[in-house]
């Protein structure tokens, strides 16, 4: 993500500079163009008319992480002792690949969301056409629940909530947890 910024100039009375008219401060509701992408223009207004710069920076996109990594990041951020921080760091970065290290660092820096685990559901073996070709359930909005031998079809991935809603969370159906590479 780029570090694009917008600048506004606000005076002590809470009024904003109008970069369209460039002649005075007004209440925000009356300003035609309260921002500029040129920091020099904002500094020139301050030099000539007073006020201070208000900077707007786009919030970076949050990184999706597993529940366990999210918990470890929270433990790291909220650690009260070096021992607690070291334990969280050890969990987060021990035996990780370089791409994982960068992704976790981005999650610590920019924030994170916990991604929901997804599962593939195998049809019972007695339903298979061939013992060597497992059938996976998938959901099609037009035709409902169906079978496929194509494991990589995105429609074969279900969240826990979907498993429950479709009645697939019982012992009768075998579930495989999907990896990060699957979705």
Per-residue pLDDT tens for 87-107? 988 888 887 788 888 888 899
pTM (predicted TM-score): 0.49
For the stretch 142-176, what's the b/e string if a residue is b when 16 or more beta carbons lie within 10 angstroms of its beta carbon? eeeeeeeeeeeeeebbbeeebbeeeebbeeebebe
What residue spans define the domains of the chain?
Answer: 5-57, 63-114, 118-177
Separation of alpha carbons 130 and 149, rounded Å: 10
User: Where does the pLDDT of residue 183 fall: very low under 50, low under 70, confident under 90, or very high at 90 and above?
Assistant: very low
- Classify residue 51 as left (phi > 0), alpha (psi -120 to 50) or beta: left
The predicted-structure confidence for 28-62, as pLDDT tens digits, reads as follows 999 999 999 999 999 999 999 999 999 998 888 89
């Amino acid at each position: 993500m780029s570090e694009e910024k917008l600048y506004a100039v606000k005076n002590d009375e809470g009024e904003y500079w109008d970069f369209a008219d460039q002649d005075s401060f007004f209440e925000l509701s009356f300003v035609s163009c309260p921002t500029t992408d040129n920091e020099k223009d904002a500094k020139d207004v301050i030099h000539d008319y007073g006020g201070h710069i208000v900077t707007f920076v786009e919030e970076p996109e949050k990184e999706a992480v597993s529940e366990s990594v999210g918990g470890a990041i929270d433990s790291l951020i909220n650690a009260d002792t070096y021992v607690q921080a070291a334990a969280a760091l050890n969990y987060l970065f021990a035996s990780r690949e370089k791409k994982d290290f960068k992704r976790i660092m981005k999650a610590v820096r920019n924030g994170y969301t916990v991604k929901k685990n997804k599962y593939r559901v195998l049809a019972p073996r007695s339903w298979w056409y061939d013992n060597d070709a497992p059938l996976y359930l998938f959901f099609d909005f037009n035709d409902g629940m169906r079978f496929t031998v194509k494991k990589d079809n995105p429609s074969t991935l279900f969240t826990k909530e979907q498993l429950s809603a479709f009645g697939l969370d019982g012992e009768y159906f075998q579930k495989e947890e999907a990896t990060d590479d699957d979705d």
